[in-house]
């Protein structure tokens, strides 16, 4: 039986795991989230998730004698094969949302799971499509003033006020929020890894 360790400060990821009944420790780490442009989009996302995983793995290994599974994730909004990260200011948030208005984009989450005893690593990229309706400039600025877009990939949160912009989505809703739970549970099943539940 493994202790689950989440390498993320994201309240959304924590909430998804808690709701699913997982017991876990949180080991937040600060790593560079600048994508490696030499890699394709999926590999860029996994590369960032792996940076988080390795940093948190090293910290957890120092502190814990128990076998653990380390889970790290990175979520990107992708439009025309270009990653749209978190906006650095209000104007950039406006540009991102204007771009997504009346268009389809992808939300991709890279998962890295590392098993502590043998260092075995499993990776997975989950992709969902999101369709935005037309957004007026006033609507975008009103949304930016709420503060919600500022720490979100693509400058919106589907589970928050930004959900009003979404006409429809195809794929896993939890992936769009930031953690594809079904994909994680499939990894556990395939590897026959059992983790503690709360």
Q: Which of 36, 42, 74, 172 is catalytic?
A: 74
Cβ-based neighbour number of residue 23 at 10 Å? 12
**What DSSP state is assigned to residue 197?**
B
Phi-psi region of 171 (alpha: psi -120 to 50; beta: other; left: phi over 0): left
Q: Are strands 68-79 and 3-6 parallel, antiparallel or unpaired?
A: parallel
Strand partners, 31: none
Mark whether 74 is an active-site residue. Answer: yes
* 59/73 Cα distance (integer angstroms): 17
* 105/67 Cα distance (integer angstroms): 39
Q: Which residues participate in catalysis according to the annotation?
A: 74
């Amino acid at each position: 039986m493994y202790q689950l360790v989440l390498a993320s400060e994201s309240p959304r990821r924590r909430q998804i795991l808690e709701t699913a009944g997982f017991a876990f420790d949180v080991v937040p780490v600060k790593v560079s989230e600048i994508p490696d442009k030499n890699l394709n989009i999926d590999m860029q996302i996994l590369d960032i998730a792996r940076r988080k995983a390795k940093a948190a793995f090293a910290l957890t290994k120092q502190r814990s004698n128990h076998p653990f599974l380390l889970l790290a994730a990175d979520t990107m909004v992708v439009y025309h094969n270009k990653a749209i990260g978190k906006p650095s200011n209000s104007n950039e948030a406006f540009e991102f949302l204007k771009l997504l208005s009346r268009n389809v984009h992808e939300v991709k989450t890279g998962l890295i799971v590392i098993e502590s005893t043998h260092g075995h690593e499993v990776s997975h990229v989950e992709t969902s499509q999101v369709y935005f309706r037309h957004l007026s400039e006033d609507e975008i600025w009103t949304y930016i003033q709420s503060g919600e877009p500022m720490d979100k990939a693509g400058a919106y949160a589907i589970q928050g006020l930004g959900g009003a912009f979404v006409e429809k989505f195809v794929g896993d809703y939890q992936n769009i929020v930031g953690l594809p739970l079904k994909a994680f549970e499939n990894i556990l099943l395939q590897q026959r890894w059992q983790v503690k539940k709360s």
